[in-house]
Amino acid sequence: MYELSLRLLLLLVLFVLSAFFSSSETAFFSLNRLQLRKMREDGSRYSSLVVSQLSRPQRLMSTILIGNMVVNIFAASLATKTLMDLFGDKGALIATVLMTFLIVIFGEITPKTFAIRNAEALARRAVLPIRLFSILIYPIRESFGALMTLLAPPQREKLITEDELRTIVEVGHGEGVVDRFEKETISRVLKLDRMVTKEIMTPRTEVFRLNEQTPLSNACIRIRKNGYARIPVWRGSDENITGVVYAKELLAAQLRGREGNLADFVHDVVFVPETKRLDDLLDEFRRKRRHLFVVIDEYGSLAGVVTLEDVLEEIVGRIVNHHDLERSRYRTVGDGVIRVSARMEVEHFNELFGTSIETGEFETMGGFVINRIGRIPRKGESFQIGQLHVMVTRASKNRILELEIRKAV
């Protein structure tokens, strides 16, 4: 009777160990990259051990499988011996059926289900015993690992798909691992292959450009007034862009007392189609080591210009320093009088003037005004937004360029 009790107690211990190894396997290998990143950053000794063990996954898997295999074989043998002593030859059949059921339910399904729901906590608790066991079975583990490598050579890690990355980012944001800035930035990067240059370029009608025959002194005056770092230059017609000049270079030449015209300072310019995808555009900026491209339409005519800053702003500009970026789109011209670019976003106009304009089919103030009036207004037309008097100060045939804002009297 005493011996039977001892065997049953030993079987119970073996079942616990089987459950431990099974749950450990699931806990370790269900941890995703975001959870591992959290563990790396929290500084805990046990978290560091988990990350260390998973840095060599094949060795960890060998350790767990060896442990589980030894425990289950020992448990099955002990159960068979015990039941054969009690029931004779029938005991072997009873042991096979009974142990299969018990190991599957209590040694596999139940512990693995629990481990999936508590992967991080369980991995931290299991890592020290697993590490000690790994040291104890070092020779066996290495032999087993070599056999696994021979039978199933390690494969190169597959790149994750865009949808998988989006899911990872969403989950990470929900768990607090990925902050709002990181989430928005990654989302914007993923949109680059669905956007084209035309969507972010400065249109031809708004491009500041100079005749290549413009005297250096006159050009410097205009450059100081407009503040652009890179200026397209033209020959014959302002649609015929022949190159680009750099403001820094021109101003330095003027300081040295040099004379002449812009033709002496022209650098080659790169032309890109307005249908070029933004991810390809960003790659071309990197390869060509340029900051400004001239954009052409399907007929080869000037469509506008696009800068590296335009692409980068599309990625992070509306999240970081959007106030600084928008500040260039308004200027104070008098006491209580501010002029804003029609390209200023409505949300930033609301922040600046304390209004509550709701965006709909438009995002910019130019779009809002056209939506409000129902047509493209002429220069001098005005209306009110709450306590603000709004007047169109610059407009072309097909677009609004600038608005003047002052408090209504």
Helix (H, G, I), strand (E, B) or coil at 306: strand
Q: What is the pTM of this model?
A: 0.44
| Residues 124/28, Cβ–Cβ less than 8 Å | no
Residue type at 239 in one-letter notation: E
> What pLDDT band is residue 321 in, cutting at 50, 70 and 90?
very low
Average pLDDT, the chain: 83
Q: Could you tell me which of 56, 102, 110 has the C-alpha nearest to residue 78? A: 102
Q: Could you tell me which of 57, 58, 64 has the C-alpha nearest to residue 23? A: 64
**CA geometry: angle at 49 spanning 45 and 55, to 5°?**
145
Residue 342: Cβ within 10 Å count: 22
What is the spatial distance between Cα 126 and Cα 23, in angstroms, rounded to a whole number? 9
pLDDT digits (tens, 9 = 90+) for 373-399: 888 888 899 988 888 899 999 887 778
pLDDT digits (tens, 9 = 90+) for 215-228: 998 888 888 777 78
> What pLDDT band is residue 323 in, cutting at 50, 70 and 90?
very low
- Find the mean pLDDT for residues 239-259: 86
What is the spatial distance between Cα 377 and Cα 41, in angstroms, rounded to a whole number? 57
Find tokens 């989950």 and name the residue: 171
| Residues 145/62, Cβ–Cβ less than 8 Å | yes
* Beta pairing, strands 400-407 & 388-395: antiparallel
Burial of 241 (0-12, 13-18, 19+ CB in 10 A): buried
Distance of CA 166 to the CA centre of its chain: 8
Note the pLDDT of residue 233.
Answer: 94
Domains and CATH numbers, the chain: 2-151 (no CATH), 162-194 (no CATH), 197-317 (3.10.580.10), 328-407 (3.30.465.10)
